[in-house]
Amino acid sequence: MAQNYGALTVIALAAILLFSGCGRESEVNTEMEGLYIALQPFGEVPDEVLEFLRGELPKRLFGIRVRKIKPPPIPKDAYDPSRGQYLSGPLLGSLQLPEGAVKALGVVDEDLYAPGLNFIFGQASLNGIGGIIALVRLRPEFWGERTGDPKALFLLRALKEAVHELSHSFGLRHCPDPSCVMHFSNTIWDTDRKGADFCGRCRSILGARMRDIIAKYKVRNAN
Residue environment code for 126-153, b if the CB has 16+ CB neighbours within 10 A, otherwise e: bbbbbbbbbbebbbbeeeeeeeeeeeeb
Among residues 37, 120, 133, 182, the one that binds Zn ion under rule CB under 5 A: 182
Active site residue 165: yes
Q: Which of residues 73-132 bind Zn ion (CB under 5 A)?
A: none
Stretch that binds Zn ion, among 54-62, 84-92, 136-144, 182-190 (CB under 5 A): 182-190
Stretch that binds Zn ion, among 6-14, 18-26, 88-96, 140-148 (CB under 5 A): 6-14
Among residues 180, 188, 196, 205, the one that binds Zn ion under rule CB under 5 A: 180
Is residue 51 involved in binding Zn ion (CB under 5 A)? Answer: no
Q: Answer for the pair 182, 198: CB distance below 8 angstroms, yes or no.
A: yes
DSSP 150-166: HHHHHHHHHHHHHHHHH
Q: Which of residues 156-175 bind Zn ion (CB under 5 A)?
A: 175
**Residue closer to Zn ion (CB basis): 25 or 177:** 177
C-beta atoms surrounding 47 within 10 Å: 10
Q: Answer for the pair 31, 143: CB distance below 8 angstroms, yes or no.
A: no
Q: Which residues bind Zn ion (CB under 5 A)?
A: 9, 175, 177, 180, 182, 199, 202
Residues forming the active site: 165
